[in-house]
Amino acid sequence: MGVTKEMAAENRQKILAAAERLFREKGVDAVGLTELMREAGFTQGGFYNHFKSKEALVSEALERAVEEGVQELSDAIANSRAKGIDPLTRQINWYLSPEQRDDIECGCAMAGFVGDIPRLTKEAQSSYAEALEQTFERIAEMIRFQKPTLSKKGAHRRAIALYGQMVGSLLLSRAVSSGNPKLADEILKQTQTEIFADLYKAAGSAERRTK
Q: What average pLDDT score do residues 150-170 get?
A: 96
User: 36-70: per-residue pLDDT in tens?
Assistant: 999 999 988 889 999 999 999 999 999 999 999 99
Instruction: Please determine, for residue 165, whether its predicted confidence score (pLDDT) is greater than 80.
Output: yes
State residue 209's pLDDT score.
43
User: 77-89: per-residue pLDDT in tens?
Assistant: 999 999 999 999 9
Residue type (1 letter), 39: E
DSSP-derived secondary structure for 94-145? HHTSHHHHH-TTTS-HHHHHTTTGGGS-HHHHHHHHHHHHHHHHHHHHHHHH
Q: What average pLDDT score do residues 93-111 get?
A: 93
Q: Which CATH architecture has domain 59-209?
A: Orthogonal Bundle (1.10)
Task: Report the b/e string of 171-188 with b at 16+ CB within 10 A.
Answer: bbbbeebeeeeeebbebb
DSSP-derived secondary structure for 46-58? GGGGT-S-HHHHH
Q: Which CATH architecture has domain 1-51?
A: Orthogonal Bundle (1.10)
In eight-state DSSP terms, residue 34 is: H
Chain CA centroid to CA 55, Å: 20
Instruction: Please determine, for residue 174, whether its predicted confidence score (pLDDT) is greater than 90.
Output: yes
Q: How does the average pLDDT of the chain come out, rounded?
A: 90
Coil vs helix vs strand at 148:
coil
Angle at 108 between CA 134 and CA 210, to 5 degrees: 90
In the chain, where are the structural domains located?
Answer: 1-51, 59-209
Residue (of 67, 70, 69, 82) closest to 138 by Cα position: 70
pTM for the whole structure: 0.85
Residue (of 65, 46, 160) closest to 120 by Cα position: 65
Task: Kindly report the backbone phi and psi dihedral angles of residue 114, in degrees, each rounded to the nearest multiple of 5, phi listed first.
Answer: -60, -35
Q: Does residue 142 contact residue 91 with C-beta atoms inside 8 Å?
A: yes
